[in-house]
Amino acid sequence: MSTSPDAVDAAFFDELRKHYSDDEIVELALFIGMNLGFHTFFGSLKFYPLFSPEGQLLTQEESEKLYGGAPSSLNEQGAK
Chain residues that interact with another protein, rule: CB under 8 A: 1-2, 5, 8, 10, 13, 22-23, 25-27, 29-38, 40-41, 43-46, 70, 74, 77-79
Q: Contact at 8 Å (CB) between 2 and 36?
A: yes
Of 5 and 56, CB closest to another protein: 5
With residue 34 as reference, give the H or E element that holds it. helix 22-44
Of 53 and 78, CB closest to another protein: 78
Of 8 and 50, CB closest to another protein: 8
CA pair distance 61, 46, nearest whole angstrom: 10
